[in-house]
Chains A and B, each alone.
Chain A
């Protein structure tokens, strides 16, 4: 695999040349600092731009065109990560050596059409399709309350991350949706190219450097913002523990427990915490899995994850509401066990090896590779082998001592009251 970064005045191109995959991926990122008012535009724009375009001005036409290109697909999303928001347009298509060389140019033209030639007339997105997309988003908003994991995750984040960017869901509210129209949306669309956003284009696959000229040409005349941005949120968590419960008609209850991470160094956040989290909640024989699920039969799913850019650790479990108190007590015990040298030592070497297996997966995963190079624009990201070396240097004492920097912050229960 060869990586080459090409800095231009108006965009940064990341060329990852590899024959590892049978697909070619081109991903365009528009990034700027998070603004909660953009969430609604993010959703409307991401949906509108792939629903139709000026040339392929119906859903049928754009879908047929993708199918003609051997299922080439342009997908779009609006996402929040740390302090930043991004519009992402991703093209994937089969390496033309398996189909026909003409599909390279035609697939790139398809991406260009979606990004630069939206279905707009008189400075407005096509009203008919705008309203269809609006209905789709209303349906998405209404669906939140029938998806217990999504609902609980959103409500937990609101409490845990208290008005910081992480506390917002990328799904807008109905009120926000009503405040926008197709004209305002087009005005916002134009900001993608007026210097408000940093623009990155990642290309991964078996390609030659001629693709750089095609991409440069695609973005000719476009302005971008090259101001340095950071992902990390300096969230001042409150000292007291916030506990909240609410009920909906589900069979199972969803429990989220949030721990704030206090004054961790980069080494602790990137290396020590990774081992801590693996031992506590992600490996086969993790402490949470063993104590809560296997020894006490209280749940089917349980685990933990780290939110790196708003430093926190979250434990989640699907439980029966009658076992709430007992589960909380056991989860607290599991976190306490992370200070116990005997417990940590038992799993320490295995956790490192499990992480090594996960890290190997990087080489097999298109998205991980693209995101690594993209994220490097905003923070120092170690390459996978340096990361592996540094994780392998972590000591048992470092993991045990980390427990002093982890404090309970939020307990949220979505009670399933179907019984």
Chain B
């Protein structure tokens, strides 16, 4: 071994922004996260040129996985064109030279804030979710050391109690997003703040999901074909948002998750949350060639 063999050729910056040692650490942790689905794996969470809480966890995973042959799609609350999504997409393209796309069907790597696309993902696609709070037990146990012990013991009684109290108080489960879900029958995870609408999409999905929280320095994963069951009582079925009958005012798409747009007269109109699906629907309506992939929901019902 010589000194020369321990050094490398000078580069102006690391490919994909992160240095090789940061990538190796995230790689090792991702492998363990895949091996123990739903288990939160701590990692160092390096600095990236973005404030923590804006998707730094997802960005680090994307920077580790990215290569010049990978088509990247970034979405923020379903939209490809919001500031957060556009900034991250531009950053990833700039540091890697990877081509970007807005088409869910073309993407190899999808980084998303709080939504899973409406079109079904394939076996070769990776979904990276940005997670603000990866700890489902935090509302019932703020001490993270005790929460970790509770995960070790599979002690989720307080989660059930919380859901029960919501039903007693309000007549239904009030958890709108981050619905606690049991992964592979063992670990309860918070599936990032995706709406209840999206949680059933994770169950036995064909794609690989990696959820990464940069501020909290933990990541977890849901491998393909893994059971993800929202915590529900036998006599109180799991309910998704009642968007099945809503129609998008711009595209005419119906039966998908919608954004509510309040109007001046007190009423509301709705717009399909998955912006690319809306664009494709408009193109199809206008007679242009646009391929809409198979969707998880059909006529507002999970298939």
A, B in one complex: no
